[in-house]
Amino acid sequence: MSLAFDEYGRPFIVIKDAESKQRVKGLEAQKANILAARTVARILRSSLGPKGMDKMLQSPDGDLTISNDGATILEQMEVENQIGKLLVELSRSQDHEIGDGTTGVVVLAGSLLEQAEVLLDRGMHPIRIGEGFEMAAKVAHETLDSISEKFDFSKENLEPLVNTCMTTLSSKIVNRCKREMAEYCVKAVMAVADLERKDVNLDLIKVEGKVGGSIEDTQLVYGIVIDKDMSHPQMPKNIKDAKIAILTCPFEPPKPKTKHKVDIDTVEKYEKLAETEQKYFADMIQQCKDSGANLIICQWGFDDEANHMLYKNDLPAIRWVGGVEIELIAMATGGRIVPRFVELSEGKLGKAGTVREVNFGTTKESMIVIEDCAKSKAVTILVRGGNRMILEETKRSLHDALCVARNLVKDNSIVYGGGSAEIACSLAVEAAADKIKGVEQYAMRAFADALDAIPLALAENSGLAPIESLTKVKSQQVSEGNRRLGIDCKDAGTNDMKEQYVFETLIGKKQQMMLATQVVKMILKIDDVITPSGYA
């Protein structure tokens, strides 16, 4: 640790308690950071692409996650290194913005840093490298625009969308029934999409999971699913044209907040009390009945007596529905949440086409499905799976596919996948580099090399000879001028990604390159890392 001295020879204290802190400076700091980032990227590298491998992650509580979704892996990995955390953030922001390509962005960042390290060794200044990367990213951006194509689909012809979702799902565990899953996703997105405004509110799509059954039992529900059952086992399980009273008051005698006491000292009073009590229940039920409701959804519990009387009065009821779900139901059915029985009126009832209780398999579990809601187009994808692990992974995969479908509805420009876009960009950057004067030229070439890492990893993960396949495709792209050629991961016998239906959204790809470049620039700019050593 270097020390500064004042004119009397006493050391300046620049950092408090400097002895107990670790400090890395200059080139060493950059190298250390790059190493950390590369380690993270290396972990993810083998998960890239349709044949990517999975990672098994054991949480602090011993729960198991098996996933090949970049964002999930990084999130569950509990990275402690600061630079590692940056990459976790990077993949998370890709996940939030686009929802797909979370692995790709980290791998790209890692490979950019790898290239930067070589340049650093040659004595290039980190800022110049960063600038070179920026210029290269711009070229790549333009190239992406030029090779992008419009993607045609309409409400009648959803096939292309389904194919895209299938591409996304093919690398996941749900591979086996990707066709069905892709269709669910597209249908769900189309159900809530506003095609005129090109807007999709993903909040309206709920992905619910319930352990049990197999993945094939997954279903799409045009409505809301709640994990509850009818309060009385003998209530009707299927209600058509439901008029729903949504209550947040319990079917119990009132409990005033003010402290009070009712003293009973005579037999008459005692009998009166018992009578009043019964009247309470009768009144509550009558009020519900009068409003014209034929289904009660209540946030609180019922008394046994109330429960039976509801049943007697043909008022099926669901109790203990959570606050969030109550709100969702109210929004979807157009009903009002009623906090007191006296305020119940016909206008405040929610409406739904059907409400039914669905039973599952041999286990005695059931759920309530509210369909054809009056107000909203909310849809639910009800995922079934043998165990929690599969369920969670399926949910994540569906989320990715939903995002892809949404992005296409928002902006239907696409680029082809399988590394074809990266190869095209790499070629373009390489060509542009020669025209640049100055050290940046090297940085741009490095950027081009870094881009090659994606198709290389794809080929490697698919069990192909990486360099051989890459060079072959690259030369083909140049000689044939066909920018759609990529790595044939699926052994389909063609390199043309259009024929294989492998494509990604233009925004997604652009975002990937932008984010990766930015993070790399940021990491390169760090020249001093101060950490408290150890946890004292």
**Alpha-carbon distance values, 453 to 294, 325, 377, 457 (Å):** 62, 46, 43, 6
Q: Of 103, 143, 218, 505, which one is the catalytic site residue?
A: 103
494 binds another protein (CB under 8 A): no
CB 41, min distance to another protein, A: 12
Binding track over 397-426 against another protein, x by CB under 8 A: ------------------------------
Contacts to another protein from residues 159-178, by CB under 8 A? 173, 176
Shortest distance, CB of residue 445 to another protein, whole angstroms? 26
The residue among 257 and 437 lying less far from another protein, judged by its C-beta, is 257
- Are 82 and 507 in contact by the 8 Å Cβ rule? The answer is no
262 touching another protein, by CB under 8 A: yes
CA-based nearest residue to 298, from 237, 346, 226, 209: 226
13 binds another protein (CB under 8 A): no
Annotated catalytic residue, options 69, 95, 100, 496: 69
- Kindly state whether residue 526 participates in binding another protein, applying the rule CB under 8 A: no
How far is 206 from 193, CA to CA, in rounded Å? 14
Site for another protein in 216-235 (CB under 8 A): 232-234
Q: Which amino acid is at 7?
A: E
Among positions 81-110, residues that touch another protein (CB under 8 A) are 81, 84
Cβ 210 to another protein shortest distance, Å: 12
With binding defined as CB under 8 A, does residue 32 bind another protein? Answer: yes
Three-class DSSP category at 414: strand
Does the active-site annotation cover 168?
A: no
- Residue nearer to another protein on the CB measure, 426 or 462: 462
What is the nearest approach in angstroms of another protein to the Cβ of residue 392? 12
Q: Where are the beta strands (DSSP E) in 132-211?
A: 149-150, 193-194, 199-200, 205-211
43 binds another protein (CB under 8 A): yes
Catalytic site residue 143? no
Closest distance to another protein from the beta carbon of 75 (Å): 11
Q: Are 172 and 68 in contact (CB under 8 A)?
A: yes
By rule CB under 8 A, what string of x and - marks binding of each residue 423-462 to another protein? --------------------------------------xx
**Contact yes or no for 375/331 (Cβ under 8 A):** yes
CB nearer to another protein: pick between 136 and 309: 309
Q: Which residue among the candidates 65, 72, 102, 218 is catalytic per the annotation?
A: 102
**Nearby residues of 163 by Cβ (< 8 Å), 6 or more positions away:** 182, 501
Beta carbon of residue 50, minimum distance to another protein (angstroms, whole number): 9
Query: Is 218 a residue of the active site?
Result: no
Half-sphere exposure of 242 (CA within 13 A, CB side): 32
Q: How far apart are CA 380 and CA 371, in angstroms?
A: 10
Supply the minimum distance, in Å, between the C-beta of residue 385 and another protein. Answer: 9
Q: If we measure between CA atoms, which residue out of 74, 146, 67, 149 comes closest to residue 109? A: 74
103 is catalytic: yes
Give the shortest CB-388-to-another protein separation in angstroms. 8
Radius of gyration of the chain (CA): 30
With CB under 8 A as the contact rule, which of the stretches 4-12, 149-157, 159-167, 251-259 interacts with another protein?
Answer: 251-259
Residue closer to another protein by CB (options 36, 136) is: 36
- The burial class, CB within 10 Å (0-12 / 13-18 / 19+), for 208 is middle
Q: How far apart are CA 436 and CA 230, in angstroms?
A: 72
287-346: which residues touch another protein (CB under 8 A)?
303-305, 307-309, 311-312
Is residue 213 a contact residue for another protein (CB under 8 A)? yes
Among 64, 195, 467, 492, binds another protein (CB under 8 A): 64
Q: Which of 57, 191, 331, 478 binds another protein (CB under 8 A)?
A: 57
According to the binding rule CB under 8 A, does residue 471 interact with another protein? no
Q: Does 350 bind another protein (CB under 8 A)?
A: no
Q: Taking a C-beta distance cutoff of 8 angstroms, is the pair 116, 446 a contact?
A: yes
- Position 339: which residue type? P
Tokens of 247: 């209550």
Find where tokens 């396949």 sit.
469
Binding another protein (rule: CB under 8 A), the pick from 23, 29, 39, 187 is: 39
Binding range to another protein, per CB under 8 A, among 40-48, 339-347, 441-449, 492-500:
40-48
Q: Report d(CA 520, CA 110) in Å as an integer.
A: 8
Residue choice 7, 19, 61, 196 for contact with another protein (CB under 8 A):
61
How many of the other CB atoms lie within 10 Å of CB of 284? Answer: 26
User: Which residues, including other chains, have CB under 8 Å from residue 486's CB and lie 6 or more apart?
Assistant: 416, 417, 418, 419, 420, 421, 423, 455, 458, 473, 495, 497, 502
State which of residues 292, 322, 386, 532 lies at the interface with another protein (CB under 8 A).
386
Nearby residues of 308 by Cβ (< 8 Å), 6 or more positions away: 232
Least spacing, CB of residue 324 vs another protein, in Å: 27
Point out the residues that are catalytic: 69, 102-103, 400
